[in-house]
Chain A
Amino acid sequence: MMASDDGSAKVLAGGQSLVPMMNFRMASPSRLVDINAITELDYIKADGNAIRIGALARHNQILGSDLVRERCGVLAQAYGHVAHHTVRNRGTLAGNSCHADPASEMPAVLLTLDATFHIDGSNPRSVAASDFFLGMYTTAVGGNEYLREIEIPMLAAGRRGYFDEISMRQGDFAICGVAAVMTIRNGVCSNARIAYCGIAEHQFRLTEAEQWLEGRAANAATALACADLAASSVQPGGDVKASSEYRRHLVRVLTGRVLETVFNESGLERT
């Protein structure tokens, strides 16, 4: 149906990001393709070592899922910062990902989880998270395509994650948000993923910080040092919500806070 259109057709799932833009007259799709009746896309299921989340899985279903909480806790934990209950009743993780607001939380979390995005349509293919979020409101999904499923590896033993952000009010998009996932064994970090939202044109992983953490002791000094490294490595944007300097400050504070949480016993851990 989308292929027969002039190219400005949009998929409508939850509509919690698209319809506001339409109401603002910032988006004027010629046609909306409502997929809400395609119940086959509404699933959250375990498949071997992965969790597969279909296009129609709503935020509240995901955050309330025992499977997600037990096997990929940081995904559920981060949802505390995403919108509010009523918006989460309709909004979908797939839709949030495709909308790709630079300040959206879940793309940062999905980057740290090495998620894979399965795209269907004119050119079916799978795209790694690090190749999915390309720019402001821009993802690897093209016209005549839609995101069918997000595949997330379950956290392996010893692997922990956490997300935190600063926003104007709880539920608002992030002024700065940080997600971190890593393996901690015998008090030593390895295989770290650290991703940011709200500070650039799209969510991204800070590979300098990830590599620096390899083999470091999971303690307060490491958290501080890594936070300093992160703050000096980013080029945050400034806007009406926050200056570039303030965002840089938030990178330092939040990176340290998230790392401390991951390092200590209260960090989310799957044993």
Chain B
Amino acid sequence: MSEKLLVSLEVNGEVVEHETEPRTLLSTFIRDGLGLTGTHVGCEHGICGACTVVLNGVTVRSCLTFAVQANGGKLKTVEGLLRRDGSLHPLQKKFAEHHALQCGFCTPGMLMTCEEICRNKPAATREEIREGISGNLCRCTGYQTIVNAVADYLENPHG
């Protein structure tokens, strides 16, 4: 069926309503429906991690979730990491300082994954950070600078 359904959910702290077809992926809904193009689509089968967002408190692959499954839920995308005054989240600042991004394609998914790592394991070792980002592919940085950024953030969470 291709009839449209109304999806209502909280996105980065604001309640949003938008129509969608049941078959529409959450990644498409976020990018095309809501205009939040920070979330990227890389592989469409869950391996690259570029589409990673936080749904109801845990990271999910938005390319493997249907928009209608987010109805009534709480979604956080990379845009939601920005502070209220528009400044970068301290984790984002560390990424910039440590050159943890170049082309930026993996970065939104990487940030959402790293934010979850830091939330769940505030004392994560470098090895645990490495393990934690193993589901996010980066072609540019070689990952070392990403691990450095996260490790630095964990030691200095307020920037």
Which A residues have a C-beta under 8 Å from some C-beta of B? Answer: 12, 15-16, 19-20, 23-24, 32, 34, 36, 83-87, 89-90, 170-171
CB distance from A8 to the nearest CB of B (A): 14
In the assembled complex, 21 residue pairs joining A and B whose CB atoms fall closer than 8 Å, in A order, are A15-B64, A16-B46, A19-B46, A19-B63, A19-B64, A20-B44, A20-B46, A23-B25, A23-B63, A24-B44, A34-B66, A34-B68, A83-B46, A84-B49, A85-B116, A86-B49, A86-B58, A86-B59, A87-B46, A90-B61, A171-B135
Known: A15-B65, A89-B60, A90-B64. A84 touches B134 (CB 8 A): yes
Hey, which chain B residues are within 8 Å of A34, CB to CB? 66, 68-69
Hey, which chain B residues are within 8 Å of A19, CB to CB? 25, 46, 63-66
CA A19 to CA B116, docked complex, whole Å:
23
Which B residues have a C-beta under 8 Å from some C-beta of A? Answer: 25, 44-46, 49, 52, 58-61, 63-66, 68-69, 113, 116, 132, 134-135
Tell whether, in the assembled complex, residue B135 and residue A84 are in contact, meaning their CB atoms are under 8 Å apart. Answer: yes
The main secondary structure of chain A at its interface with chain B is mixed
Tell whether, in the assembled complex, residue A20 and residue B69 are in contact, meaning their CB atoms are under 8 Å apart. Answer: no
CB distance from A11 to the nearest CB of B (A): 13
Tell whether, in the assembled complex, residue B60 and residue A83 are in contact, meaning their CB atoms are under 8 Å apart. Answer: no
Most chain B CB atoms below 10 A, which of A15, A24, A32, A84 = A84
CA A90 to CA B58, docked complex, whole Å:
9
Closest 5 CB pairs of A and B: A84-B135, A20-B45, A19-B64, A86-B59, A23-B44
